[in-house]
Amino acid sequence: MNRLLISLFVLCCTTSSYAGDTDSRVTDILKLDSDEAYGEYLASECSTCHNTSSADNGIPIIHGQDQQALIAALLAYQDKTRENETMQSVAGALGNEEIGALARYFSSQK
């Protein structure tokens, strides 16, 4: 019983937490075959703040930004090397797949 629990723990916790540095994580996420439609679906959570006409209220326009830059920004909020409580909590809830899909979607927007 204990052994089973331990192997389950090792399995789930070593595959979901990431030990590498941010740069290699950006590369890993770029290599994923990210799904733009999934990104569009997830983006509804972002669009309450980020839209294409929000330049003046302190919320940057992320539509059309570079894919790699978007990934790097989200990872920086996630590991808290970039300050902003809102974005730290938004990014904290995202896994690699979500970040990849969101970056693919937003970078494809005008």
Chain residues that interact with ligand HEC, rule: CB under 6 A: 45-46, 48-50, 58-60, 62, 70, 73-74, 82, 84, 86-87, 90, 102
Residue with smaller CB distance to ligand HEC, 50 or 96: 50
Q: CB of 69: closest distance to ligand HEC in angstroms?
A: 8
In order of 2, 15, 17, 89, 108, the CA distances from 70 in angstroms are 42, 23, 21, 16, 12
CB atoms within 10 A of CB 17: 7
Residue with smaller CB distance to ligand HEC, 32 or 49: 49
